[in-house]
Copies of this chain bind each other. A is one copy, B any other.
Amino acid sequence: MRVDVAPTPAFIPQPFPQGVRAVVIDVVRAMTSVAWALASGCDGVCPVGNEENARERARQSGAILGGERKGLPPEGFDLGNSPSSYDRETVGGRLVVLTTSNGTAAVESCLESTQVFGAAFANVEATARRLAEEKDGDILIVCAGSAGEIAIDDLAVAGSLMGSLALLAAAEPEDGARTAAAVFDHWKNDLPGLLKRSLSGRKVAGVGLESDLADCVVTDSHPFPIVLDEEGVFRRGD
B-binding residues in A (CB < 8 A): 7, 10-11, 146, 149-152, 155, 174-176, 178-179, 181-183, 185-187, 197-199
Contacts and interface: CB of A to CB of B under 8 A. Distances in A.
A175 B187 contact: no
Nearest to A151: B175
* Dominant secondary structure at the A interface: helix
A174 B155 CA distance: 14
A93 B173 CA distance: 44
A47 to B, nearest CB: 23
Contacts of A155: 179
Contact of A186 (B10, B146, B182, B199): B182
A174 B187 CA distance: 15
Contact of A152 (B146, B175, B197, B199): B175
Contact of A198 (B150, B175, B198): B175
Contacts of A150: 7, 11, 175-176, 179
A137 B235 CA distance: 48
Nearest to A180: B179
Contact of A185 (B7, B146, B182): B182
A162 to B, nearest CB: 12
A150 B187 CA distance: 21
Nearest to A201: B175
Contacts of A10: 10
